[in-house]
């Protein structure tokens, strides 16, 4: 059937290096390759991910999320793609302002519906908000079956939820940073959600008191993390190397990748590490973690605040004789086309 979602509009706050925006740009590249027109409305075009903007992408910037209805009215796209949970309020505002003239809105569930950092009142308010999503979204996309089940129930969109994984990471030629011969790796923004303090606090408790920790990423918690490193006397063991446009080569060199987040959606870094044969250790930050680390020969899952279990898992995978897992191919090679099929179907309706 002929394509009908010829113009796809998506939007974001900035390009500071989050997984949501990185996946958004990979999808945009795939949509452009399929011959669709793609527009990105974005508040701030600067940031580490600016180097990953695909050729042919139309940019609307500067832009404020509150003005999304005006941008939609002016550009008249066929479909709107909301790239993650953080951005659904803009989708709701756009639907409210435009009413029946609003094009179909497809949103991706990028974080778990239940967040461990929410207290009782915040949790209740968040659940009420999620339950309203079916009123302004036409379709919801989750990245794994378990997260799709959670999202569909939370948003009351059981018959309007699909499973489409993020597109896989692609190797980008770049010079490798100076790395120790053997190290633990963390990859992710330096933000409260990631709880890098847990991983740093475990370092002095490891059987190997010399193995270093390398963290790729940057963010608002850098100062607090540096203070913790100094307080523990770990200046020689923790390397904060900043954002990396292509962490795959560093992942391939790591002894183990650790993710100690408070909450996650579907952590792509776990899939990326396993794709290059690097074992992973993760907190139970999402239902998707058990779908990714689905065999004991691929890594370990520990409770969020169980330091002893984290240390035991790290010690086990840092044994010099421990066999690395076989590489696990990343899913999602056809994800951009699957989104396009969904967009076309919604526009035809």
Q: What's the CA gap between 203 and 260, in Å, rounded?
A: 13
pLDDT of residue 169: 84
Q: What's the CA gap between 44 and 332, in Å, rounded?
A: 28
- Do 184-317 and 7-168+332-348 fall under one CATH topology? yes
Q: What's the CA gap between 190 and 188, in Å, rounded?
A: 6
Q: What's the CA gap between 162 and 292, in Å, rounded?
A: 18
Residue 294's contacts (CB-CB under 8 Å, 6 or more residues apart) are: none
Taking only the tens of pLDDT, the chain with its 349 residues reads 567 999 999 999 999 878 899 999 999 999 999 999 999 999 999 888 898 899 999 999 999 999 999 999 999 999 999 999 999 999 999 999 999 999 999 999 988 888 878 888 999 999 999 999 999 999 999 999 999 999 999 999 999 999 999 999 877 777 788 899 999 999 999 999 999 999 999 999 999 999 999 999 999 999 999 999 999 999 999 999 998 888 999 999 999 999 999 999 999 999 999 999 999 999 999 999 999 999 999 999 999 999 999 999 999 999 999 999 999 999 999 999 999 999 999 999 8
Contact 245, 52 (CB under 8 A): yes
Q: What's the CA gap between 87 and 80, in Å, rounded?
A: 12
Distance of CA 189 to the CA centre of its chain: 10
Contact 137, 107 (CB under 8 A): yes
Contact 201, 213 (CB under 8 A): no
pLDDT of residue 2: 62
Question: Considering only the top CATH level, what class is 184-317?
Answer: alpha beta
User: DSSP string of 222-275?
Assistant: HHHHHHHHHHTT-TTTEEEEE--S--HHHHHH-SEEEE--S--BS-HHHHHHHH
Dihedral Cα 47, 144, 30, 4, nearest 10 deg: -120
Domain boundaries, the chain: 7-168+332-348, 184-317
152: its two tokens: 């569909």
CATH code: domain 7-168+332-348 is 3.40.50.2000
For the chain, the C-alpha Rg in angstroms (whole number) is 21
pLDDT of residue 21: 93
3-class SS at 157? coil
First to last CA, the chain: 14
pLDDT tens by residue, 208-220: 999 999 999 999 9
Contact 258, 199 (CB under 8 A): yes
Per residue, what are the HEC states of 121-145? Answer: HHHHHHHHHHHCHHHCCCEEEECCH
Count of Cβ atoms closer than 10 Å to residue 338 Cβ: 16
Contact 82, 349 (CB under 8 A): no
């Amino acid at each position: 059937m002929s394509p009908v979602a010829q113009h796809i509009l998506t939007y974001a706050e900035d390009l500071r290096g989050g997984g949501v925006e990185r996946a958004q740009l990979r999808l945009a590249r795939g949509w452009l390759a399929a011959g669709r027109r793609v527009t990105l409305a974005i508040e701030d075009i600067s940031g580490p991910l600016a180097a990953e903007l695909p050729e042919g992408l139309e940019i609307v910037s500067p832009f404020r999320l509150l003005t999304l209805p005006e941008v939609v009215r002016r550009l008249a796209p066929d479909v709107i793609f909301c790239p993650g949970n953080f951005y659904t309020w803009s989708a709701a505002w756009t639907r409210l302002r435009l009413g029946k003239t609003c094009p179909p809105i497809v949103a991706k569930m990028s974080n778990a519906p239940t967040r461990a950092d929410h207290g009782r009142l915040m949790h209740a308010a968040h659940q009420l908000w999620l339950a309203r999503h079916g009123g302004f979204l036409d379709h919801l996309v989750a990245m794994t079956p378990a997260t799709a089940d959670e999202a569909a129930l939370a948003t009351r969109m059981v018959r309007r939820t699909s499973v489409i994984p993020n597109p896989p990471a692609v190797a980008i030629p770049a010079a490798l940073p100076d790395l120790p011969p053997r190290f633990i790796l963390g990859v992710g923004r330096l933000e409260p959600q990631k709880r890098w303090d847990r991983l740093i606090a475990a370092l002095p408790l490891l059987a190997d008191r010399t193995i270093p920790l390398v963290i790729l990423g940057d963010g608002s918690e850098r100062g607090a993390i540096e203070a913790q490193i100094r307080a523990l006397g770990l200046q020689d063991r923790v390397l904060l190397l900043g954002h990396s446009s292509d962490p795959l080569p560093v992942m391939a060199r790591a002894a183990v990748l650790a993710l100690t987040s408070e909450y996650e959606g579907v952590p792509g870094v776990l899939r990326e590490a396993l794709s290059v044969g690097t074992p992973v250790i993760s907190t139970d930050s999402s239902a998707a973690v058990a779908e990714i680390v689905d065999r004991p020969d691929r890594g370990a899952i520990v409770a969020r605040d169980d330091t002893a279990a984290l240390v035991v898992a790290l010690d086990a995978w840092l044994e010099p004789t421990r066999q690395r897992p076989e590489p696990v191919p990343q899913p999602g090679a056809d994800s951009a086309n699957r989104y396009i099929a969904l967009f076309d179907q919604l526009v035809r309706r």
